[in-house]
Structure 1
């Protein structure tokens, strides 16, 4: 027995599996597992563009929205296109009222003297941090040389006249043209000012304006058509439910295997093989920052099911042989022919779901894409890493011969 154990542990496939499992545990413990919206809680905002757009315009829209949310300080945000006229924004850990105005406004900046537009968002070079004094706020920004020159020419000789500054056609402030600016001397330093009822309101308003000025305007008008939120408590219930379902599934599998093979010791390698597949799948998810949500958990459970099924095929093929080593090898090859054919069929069935989900990005389809991607990833890990190791175990130990 000791010689068999030594032979098994020295096999390169076994060594590779041990190293990969150790690396996955390290990745999970250091990088953590990215939890999806339905587990961690947060908000889902559905945005509709005023008209269908091409892929380049849609990429601009999603890029601007993602930049806005990052500037605003929102973490764990995912912005994705849904068709050619809708955008889905998923924000973990943040309630929708905090960001709805940020993602639902075009961000168009204009400064007018009278009815003449003298500045636009394209003239802004950089935006500085807001200055808060009690309930008053200031958002300084710098103009380009051409923008400063254009503003100076428009303000020449108009001392005391207001400069109406609009954000999305909403009047924000109307500072008067100073005597110095009215001389026509260009200045690149400008600011938007305002006052609110409290310091908290002033900070929120200044941060919103800073974000919109920094991120730039969206190329099309947008409107929010749906807002939903998931509480963290509900996410905890989902996790507990998934763990209970997984535990019940494992107990059912163990009972069936014991009844079928009448050899309890055979359950252990099957259990540890399935556990290794789960660890490796979660390790890959941690490295690539793949969200683990309910759909992904369903994919992991599906992988466990297909893995146990494949291990039963390997075991039955070996036990059906006459016990000779060469015969066992042929039986294992026959088993892997079935396993590869089954895996190929499953992957072929999952790929359309993954493709549609990634390319379209709709909420429901996106869940199917998460399920499909996790299932395919787990099946590939099992077919090429864990199930060959289980086959090596059965070949060397030939456990459960009757």
Structure 2
């Protein structure tokens, strides 16, 4: 027996499996598992552009929106294009009213003296942290040298006239041109000021303006066409329901295997193999920062289900090949021919879902893409890593012998 154990543990496939399991546990412990909206709770915002745009413009839109949300302090955000005129924003752990205004505004800044535009968002070099005093706020920012020079020339001899500062065509403030600025001397230090009804409102307004100034303007006008949210409590119920369903499935499979082979101990290697497969899938998800949501959980269950089927095929072939070692080897090859053919068929069925989901990005299709990706990942891990180890285990220890 010791000789068999030693031989089994020295097999390169077993060593690879143990390394991957250990690495996956370390990855999950260190990096954690990213949970999707339906598990962690959060918001989904659907944004429509005023007109269809090309790929470069769409990349600019998604980049600006992503930057805005990161500047605003939102974590676990995912911004993706949906066709050539829509954008989907997924935000875990945040309710939509907290960020809807930020993502739904063009962010176009203009400063006008009279009817002349003297500054735009392109002239802003950097934006400093807001200054809050009671219910008053100030957002200082620096201008480029060219912008400061242009502003000084436009303000020359106009002391006392207002400089109307607009954000998305909304008048924010109208400071008067000081005598120093009216001399035509350029200054790069400018600020937007205002007052609200309370300190909390002042902080919110200043933060919004700071975010829009820092992120720049969107190349096209946008509007929010749909907002939905999932509570964290509902996500917790989803997780509990998935765990209960998984446990019931495990018990049902165990009973079927015991009835099938009349060998309770055979259930152990099957479930150890399945557990290793699940750990490696979670480890891969942690490394690539893949969101685990209900669709991904369904994909993992599908992959694990095919894994149990494949292990039953391997066990039956080993049993049918008992008596001669060479016959068992041929039987295992036959089993893997069936397994590879089945895996190829399943992957071929999943790839169109993954392609359409990633390429189009629509909400419902995106869920199918998550299901397809996780299923394919699980099948590949099983076919090339866990199932060969199970076959080696059964062949070495003959646990399937009746």
| TM-score interval (norm. to shorter) | over 0.9
Supply the distance in 2 between the matched residues of 1:394 and 1:330 (Cα, whole angstroms): 14
Measured after TM superposition, the shift of residue 112 of structure 1 is: 0.6
- Where do residues 202-217 of structure 1 align in structure 2 (5 Å cutoff)? 202-217=202-217
Following superposition, the deviation at residue 322 of structure 1 comes to 3.6
Match of 2:235 in 1: 235
Task: Give the Cα separation in 2 of the matches to 1:6 and 1:115.
Answer: 86
Are positions 1:25 and 2:46 aligned together? no
Deviations 1:160-192 (A, max 9, x none): 000000000000000000000001111111100
Equivalence for 1:118: 118
In the other structure, the counterpart of 2:396 is 396
Q: Give the secondary structure class of the aligned counterpart of 2:292.
A: coil
Q: Match of 2:67?
A: 67
Residue in structure 2 matched with residue 157 of structure 1 by the alignment:
157
Structure 2: give runs of 5+ residues left out of the alignment: none
User: 1:248-267 to 2 correspondence within 5 Å?
Assistant: 248-267=248-267
Which residue is 2:185 aligned to?
A: 185
Question: Which sections of structure 1, spanning at least 5 residues, go unmatched?
Answer: none
| In structure 1, C-alpha distance between the alignment counterparts of 2:40 and 2:369, rounded to whole Å | 19
Paired residues, number: 402
Tell me, in whole angstroms, the C-alpha distance in 2 between the residues paired with 1:104 and 1:158.
36
- Superposed counterparts of 1:79-98, under 5 Å: 79-98=79-98
SS of the equivalent of 2:79 reads strand
Runs in 1 of length 4+ with deviation above 3 angstroms? none
Deviation at 1:2, TM superposition (A): 2.0
Q: Could you say which residue in structure 2 is the equivalent of 1:133?
A: 133
Residue 200 of structure 2: aligned partner = 200
C-alpha RMSD over aligned residues: 0.7
Aligned pair 1:289/2:289, yes or no? yes
Deviation of 1:46 after TM superposition, in Å, equals 0.5
2:111 and 2:165 in contact (8 A); partners too: yes
Shift of 1:78: 0.4
What SS does the aligned partner of 2:229 have? strand
Q: Is the 8 A contact 2:394 2:400 kept in 1?
A: no
Contact 2:318 2:400 in 1 (8 A): no
2:123 and 2:251 mapped to 1: Cα distance?
A: 66
Residue in 2 aligned with 1:38?
38
Partner of 2:7: 7
Describe the superposition over 1:354-396 as per-residue Cα deviations: whole angstroms up to 9, x where unpaired.
Answer: 1111111110000000000001111110001000000001111
Distance (whole Å) between structure 1 residues aligned to residue 302 and residue 120 of structure 2: 54
Look up the SS of the partner of 1:287 in the other structure. Answer: helix
Give, in angstroms, the shift of residue 15 of structure 1: 1.4
Aligned counterparts of 1:150 and 1:331: Cα–Cα separation in 2: 83
Give the superposition deviation at 1:16. Answer: 1.3
Q: Which residue in the other structure is 1:337 paired with? A: 337
Distance 2:129 2:321 in 1: 75
Return the offset for 1:30. Answer: 1.0
- The within-5 A match list for 1:267-346 is 267-346=267-346
Between the aligned partners of 2:396 and 2:149, the Cα distance in structure 1 is: 83
* Shift in Å, 1:6: 1.7
CA distance in 2, matches of 1:164, 1:117: 9
CA contact (8 A) 2:139 2:206 kept: yes
Taking the aligned partners of 1:327 and 1:94, their CA distance within structure 2 comes to 60
Counterpart contact for 2:62–2:81, Cα < 8 Å: yes
